[in-house]
Structures are given as C-alpha cells and as structure tokens.
Structure 1
Amino acid sequence: MVMGFGGITELTNDQCWALLRSNDLGRIAVSAAGLVDIFPINYAVDEGARTVYFRTAPGTKLLELAINDRIALEIDGHDEHEAWSVVVKGSAERVERQSEMDAAERLGLEPWIPTLKYRWVRIRPLEIAGRRFALGPEPSRV
C-alpha cells in the first residue's frame, strides 16, 4: 500500500479482488458512437478465473457491447472512518456456450428486480485499481 496525499491509499490487486468479492452492486460504463452510458448492475465474481459476470436482458447494454466491447466496472463503499473505490477496466463478452452458462449459474447471481435477465456477460479485466480514503474534516484554509 502506498499512502498518498490526504490519506489516500492505493490498494493491491488482491485487496481490489477481495472488495469485489465482498460486494455485488456496481456501475458499468460502456461507450458506443461517441457516447458513454452508465448502468447499475449486480454482479458475481468467479474467483478462480478472476472474471466478473452480470446478467442482463436484450437492450442498450448488449447493443453497445456488441459495437464496442470495452467496459469499466466501478464499485465503492464507506463507513464512518474511510471510503474506498475499485475500478475494473477490460473487455466484455456474451457467454454463449451452455457449459459456461452453467458455470456462471453456479455463482448464484440472481436479478434484483422481477425481470427475465437470461443473457450472461463476462468481464475479462485488463486493468484493476483501487483506492482507500481516510475520511475527516476539511483542513483549515488559513
């Protein structure tokens, strides 16, 4: 860990993965035709492969990922003493093989809202980074 300016600590890859595993809600950013869209998702982590999965229905996310497979996933959290953020950048691909869908199903990911989300998407990370922030009052300006 590297302590930075103002109580900012860079997280190791293992710390980032631990935070990803301990949570299940994040936001993905996808881009197509020069526009960026951000969507909330719930997700699951395949620890062995160090990949992230989410489920979705046909629509904007799948269309944009078909045009441009680059994706970013961001998760964050806080308590009364610190906050943290993890960003995963990588490529997204639809899971098409039945054996891979069956393996993804075993991760236990269920939609949070009562909709049919039977399309699986796998995020293959190319880069992962995280930071932890010590919370406190703003320093005096004088």
Structure 2
Amino acid sequence: MAETTDPVIFLTDEQCWERLRSQELGRLVTRVGDVLDIFPVNYVVDGQSLLFRTAQGSKLFELTVHDEVLFEVDDHTDADAWSVIVRGAAHALETSEEVERADGLGLRPWIPTLKYTYVRVEAASVSGRAFHRSPEPDRYGIQDY
C-alpha cells in the first residue's frame, strides 16, 4: 500500500507570524451590518499586530463603525503555498508617540497618495495552513483501500 502524507499542514502561531513578516501585501476584511468589504493593503508586522496606512474614506469609516476585522496574507510557489488569517480589532493610532514610533517602521504607500492615518490590527488570534502542491490524484482509477 502506498504511503500518503497529508497535503495540508496547520501552522503554529510562531509559523504564522514568520510568514506574515515575510510579506508586505494583505487583504483587510471589514464588516458593517450585513455588508462585507475587502481591501488590499500593504502592511508591516509590529510585535503581535499589523500596521497599515490609509487616507480618509470607506475603509477608515468602516473601521470606526465596526472594529472587528479579518486580515489575510498568502503566498505560493510551484511546490508549496500557504495562507494566514489574523482575527482582531483595528483602530487608528491617536497619539503622537504612537505615530512617531510607527513612522520608524518604514511603512510607505505603494501608490503616490497621501495616507496620514496609521491603523493597527491587534491580533486576537492567528491561524494558518501550508499546502504541498502536486497533481490531483486520479479521480476515476483504482483506489487504494
């Protein structure tokens, strides 16, 4: 009988944060009432939280109405892939000390727009999975039992 390995690996919290630190682009999911929105944002990891910059607009407005968010980051190669989800609360930095510290983390907008507001996503939990990519098994052939 052929030995099979599970193509899905659940990541530890430490492995999730390692992967989050390795990337710069994620997706922020917000919710206001029954409406979900998703926004691509570039970010930086700061301890056990994420920081991004934004301008006035729907993203910032939605976070003031309902601060619970999801943040997803993923990556892939021909051989492997992974995805990490951060669940938490988002809030704009308010004090000059917070903003000054955030300025030192090197987070810059990817597009030439003015983004004065830093937002911190405080992680309540992180979860992630890694995947070994390979061809799909034969769906119609003889199966091992």
Which contiguous aligned blocks of 4+ residues in structure 1 show a shift greater than 3 angstroms? none
* Structure 1 match to 2:143: none
Q: TM-score, normalised by structure 1?
A: 0.93
RMSD of Structure 2 on Structure 1 (CA): 1.0
> Which of 69, 93, 96 does residue 95 from structure 1 map onto?
93
Select which of 98, 113, 116 maps to 2:114. 116
Distance 1:89 1:77 in 2: 19
Cα displacement string for residues 38-79 of structure 1 (whole angstroms, at most 9, x for unaligned residues): 0000001113xx111000000001111111000111000011
Report the counterpart of residue 35 of structure 1 in structure 2: 35
Residue identity opposite 1:34 in structure 2:
D
Alignment TM-score, normalising by the size of structure 2: 0.91
1:23-102 to structure 2, matched below 5 A, reads 23-47=23-47, 50-102=48-100
Unaligned runs of 5+ in 2: 141-145
Structure 2 Cα separation of the partners of residues 17 and 103 of structure 1: 20
User: Which stretches in structure 1 are left out of the alignment for 5+ residues?
Assistant: none
Percent identity, aligned pairs only?
46
Cα distance in 2, alignment partners of residues 35 and 6 from structure 1:
36
